[in-house]
Amino acid sequence: MLRTTKYIFPEETMSVAHQEQTYPLEQALRAQKALRDLAGLQPETFPVSSFVGMVSDEIEALRKQGHSDDAIARTITEHSSIEISAGDLAAHYATPEQRHSRE
């Protein structure tokens, strides 16, 4: 007779009510700003390469919808103080494999 053992991992035993809470990005940024202000720290800044890496999920989705890198860069520039070009997007875009290799 073949016996099998089922291993139960903690995440499998959590009920829906006990799953980890998630928060919108805007709320996380507000909390971080308040903590940095309280600590007397300057605002956190990122080089263009890191910023493009952070928004690569959005770039991927927009490209799939037919938006050009020029249009994406223009949207970023029009809605923030970030100066960025289509060339920056192309040079620093993180592929899905690069973005999710740490998961």
Residue 31 lies in a domain: no
Whether 3 is in a domain gets the answer no
Residue 83 lies in a domain: yes
Task: Report yes or no on 81 lying in a domain.
Answer: yes
Residues in the chain: 103
pTM of the entire structure? 0.74
Does a structural domain hold residue 99?
A: yes
Residue that is written with structure tokens 């800044």 in the block = 45
Residue 14 domain-assigned (yes or no): no
What residue numbers bound the domain in which 85 lies? Answer: 46-103
Number of domains, the chain:
1
For residue 59, being part of any structural domain is answered with yes
- Per-residue pLDDT at 45 exceeds 70: yes
Residue 90 reports pLDDT greater than 60 = yes
Q: Is residue 51 part of a domain?
A: yes
